[in-house]
């Protein structure tokens, strides 16, 4: 009877493993640096919902917002170590892995988010999703946040107004060069530190989307926001080659579809939040809106645009041309 029992248990355990009856679901970790009430935060939660709905008991997605698990300085390294399976850094944060994505940081390149979208979905943009595969990073799609605005505690109307001020930038040489061009001092810092740096006046200003400026409360510690729309802050949702190829093909397909749908939702939220969060900031009266006349804006273009030439070789003229062409 003992022998029979052992046999039965063995059969049951093979059954359980093959049909995943008692096995714990496989955990997929998605780490990001923003709040949950943002395009990326909402996209990640939708992804969790869809994966768990479509692969019940087999996979579970754990979302870690607000740099809780990994921040700007280590999320991509963690991805390559398989300590996290999905991250979606802004396109400015891949410099160590490819120089080609720097195209997105060139100041005054895109006229609007429609142009950004056309470029991303076009041939050049789609090719850029694979620009880090040799480093083990797989680009699965672009996610929008929006156009960036400058903020400070002084009205930035003319480029000369920024002279000598310290601005936080993401870890991007192009963004640093953009502030160098106006005689400002760029300081590369992780997102999680920006509020405190502004609050303690260790830095004078920053550049970000309405959504990030709102959800991080930057507007509470910056008295002026210049509506400059001078650059784009978008994301690439990435995974590691090891993790991605390790998934059974049928599961990979379901997960990719869930991701595409979540990104579509995130993009819709990004478009809505851009206006809503701007309005919430203005309603708060903590921060004043600085608008630029066409002539004033042109001055910023004139001093910042020479940055393009400095990075043309690294990025590739073909890539820059494709981005410019997306404006029409």
Q: Residues touching ligand LMR: how many (CB under 6 A)? A: 9
Q: Which is nearer to ligand LMR, 275 or 298 (CB)?
A: 275
Six-digit token string for 308:
């393009």
Of residues 186-205, which lie at the interface with ligand LMR (CB under 6 A)?
A: 191
Least CB distance to ligand LMR at residue 128 (A):
17
Least CB distance to ligand LMR at residue 35 (A):
10
DSSP per-residue string spanning 30-56: EE-SS-SSSHHHHHHHHHHHHHHHHST
Q: Is 59 in the site for ligand LMR (CB under 6 A)?
A: no
Q: Is 244 in the site for ligand LMR (CB under 6 A)?
A: no
Q: Which is nearer to ligand LMR, 208 or 228 (CB)?
A: 208
CA distance 120 to 37: 24
Q: How far is CA 280 from CA 51, 191, 208, in A?
A: 33, 21, 15
Nearest to 70 by CA among 96, 89, 56: 89
Nearest to 87 by CA among 97, 77, 95, 96: 77
Helix (H, G, I), strand (E, B) or coil at 289: strand
Q: Is 151 in the site for ligand LMR (CB under 6 A)?
A: no
Q: Is 170 in the site for ligand LMR (CB under 6 A)?
A: yes
CA atoms within 13 A on the CB side of 201: 3
CA distance 193 to 73: 11
Q: Is 145 in the site for ligand LMR (CB under 6 A)?
A: yes
Q: Is 178 in the site for ligand LMR (CB under 6 A)?
A: no
Q: Is 262 in the site for ligand LMR (CB under 6 A)?
A: no
Q: Is 33 in the site for ligand LMR (CB under 6 A)?
A: yes
Q: Which of 28, 34, 78, 221 binds ligand LMR (CB under 6 A)?
A: 34
Of residues 206-225, which lie at the interface with ligand LMR (CB under 6 A)?
A: 208, 212
CB-based contact 205:223 (threshold 8 Å):
no
Q: Is 247 in the site for ligand LMR (CB under 6 A)?
A: no
Residues that bind ligand LMR (CB under 6 A): 33-34, 90, 145, 170, 191, 208, 212, 233
């Amino acid at each position: 009877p003992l022998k029979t029992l052992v046999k039965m248990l063995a059969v049951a355990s093979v059954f359980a493993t093959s049909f995943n009856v008692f096995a714990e679901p496989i955990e997929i970790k998605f780490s990001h640096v923003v709040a949950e009430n943002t395009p990326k935060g909402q996209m990640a939660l939708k992804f969790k919902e869809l994966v768990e709905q479509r692969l019940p008991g087999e996979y579970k997605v754990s979302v870690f917002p607000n740099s809780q698990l990994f921040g700007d300085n280590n999320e991509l390294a963690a991805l390559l170590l398989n300590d996290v399976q999905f991250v979606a850094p802004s396109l400015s944060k891949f410099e160590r892995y490819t120089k080609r994505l720097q195209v997105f940081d060139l100041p005054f390149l895109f006229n609007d988010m429609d142009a950004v979208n056309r470029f991303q979905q076009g041939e050049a943009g789609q090719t850029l999703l694979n620009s880090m595969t040799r480093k083990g990073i797989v680009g699965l799609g672009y996610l929008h946040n929006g156009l960036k605005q400058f903020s400070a505690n002084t009205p930035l109307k003319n480029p000369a107004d920024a002279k000598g001020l310290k601005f936080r930038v993401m870890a991007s040489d192009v963004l640093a060069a953009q502030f160098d061009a106006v005689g400002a001092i760029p300081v590369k810092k992780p997102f999680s530190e920006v509020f405190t740096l502004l609050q303690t006046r260790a830095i004078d200003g920053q550049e970000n989307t309405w959504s990030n400026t709102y959800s991080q409360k930057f507007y509470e510690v910056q008295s002026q926001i210049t509506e400059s729309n001078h650059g784009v802050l978008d994301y690439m949702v990435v995974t590691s080659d090891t993790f991605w190829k390790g998934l059974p093909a049928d599961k990979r397909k379901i997960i990719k579809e869930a991701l595409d749908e979540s990104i579509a939702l995130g993009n819709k939220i990004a478009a809505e939040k851009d206006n809503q969060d701007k309005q919430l900031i203005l309603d708060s009266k903590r921060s004043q809106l600085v608008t630029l006349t066409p002539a004033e804006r042109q001055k910023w273009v004139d001093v910042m645009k020479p940055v393009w030439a400095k990075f043309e070789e690294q990025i590739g003229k073909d890539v820059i041309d494709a981005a410019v062409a997306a404006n029409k």
